[in-house]
Amino acid sequence: MPTYDYKCESCKNIFEFFQNMSDKPLSKCPKCKNKVRRLVSGGSGLIFKGSGFYLTDYAKKKPNEKEPKKTDKKNQKKLKKSKETKVNKNNI
């Protein structure tokens, strides 16, 4: 059941009212008993928790985070050697 926002046209009172979607909109302000108007709201966002959702399980990696292919052993050896030499140069 959603919560609807209403605004009184005379006293400008803004209030929320919890009601079924099938209920008729309110027509009177609880403070001054004059005419009210239901406001359009953006609603609330959905939050999915746990595994099994696109953002957590199937999102593409950024281009700079790509790992070398497992079948390309030569490139893996080259990367490993270049990393080792960089470490050795920094330690000297």
Q: pLDDT of 8-49, one tens digit each? A: 999 999 999 998 889 999 999 999 999 999 998 766 666 666
What whole-number distance in Å separates Cα of residue 53 and Cα of residue 28?
44
Torsion angle of the four alpha carbons 31, 32, 35, 38, in this order, in degrees rounded to the nearest 10: -20
**Residue 7 banded pLDDT, cuts 50, 70, 90:** very high
- Whether the pLDDT of residue 88 is over 60: the answer is no
pTM of the model: 0.45
pLDDT in tens, 55-76: 555 556 666 655 555 556 666 6
